[in-house]
Structure 1
Amino acid sequence: MPNNRRRLQGIVVSDKMQKTVVVRVETVKRHSLYGKVIRTYKKYLAHDESDSIREGSVVQIVESRPLSKRKRWVVEAVLEAPTDAEAEAAALEAENAEEELEG
């Protein structure tokens, strides 16, 4: 029986919840009239059973049954894990972005 569940690839932008990560998926489209390439981003909550995936990791997520109100995806594989320096830089960048939004 074929597995027809959707699979997406994205970057983990938050790992602060228990057994849950926020994955940002990029979609590239062309404008129908002008032909300009437009990048759009969408965030998905994904289940991480091992709770070991860190911010900055590139992961593949697969569609599943609803696990909670907003969580309908499960992390299938970690394609690329960040080094310690990259993880610290990503965390620092996220803090700076939050501070800019607040003030």
Structure 2
Amino acid sequence: MPKKRLIGVVVSDKMDKTVVVKVTRRFEHPDYKKHIERSKKYHVHDENNTCKVGDVVLIEETRPLSKTKRWRVVEILQRGYQTEKMPGVEESEQI
């Protein structure tokens, strides 16, 4: 049986070897036919601490690694834009 794979955005990288990934899905409401977005956050294992906030990642289901971690990072699909590298912005203007 193939493992589930999802694409999401890293929203937190403060933990060691763990990132929080937000996965958003779109679906049509069965009664009102309006498109709705729902999101869910997953704790994901990041062995080398390579993911940063804003990265788009591919995650895969795996065996339980801790109380909350059941997913691991397969690859980083797109790097997020880092605010500290923004051209033309003074350090005092950044967050």
Instruction: Give the TM-score band, short-chain normalised.
Output: 0.7 to 0.9
Q: For residues 11 and 79 of structure 2, what CA distance do their matches in structure 1 show?
A: 13
User: Post-superposition, which runs of at least 4 consecutive aligned residues in structure 1 deviate over 4 A?
Assistant: none
Identity %: 47
- Structure 1: segments with no counterpart, 5+ residues: 93-103
Between structure 1 and structure 2, the one with the greater Rg is 2
Which structure is higher in helix share?
1
Residue of structure 1 aligned with 2:46, choices 42, 45, 48: 48
TM-score, normalisation: structure 1? 0.79
Q: Secondary structure at the match of 2:13?
A: strand
Paired residues, what number? 87
Residue of structure 1 aligned with 2:12, choices 11, 14, 24: 14
TM-score, normalisation: structure 2? 0.85
Query: What is the RMSD of the two structures over their aligned residues, measured on CA atoms?
Result: 1.8
Shift of 1:84: 2.3
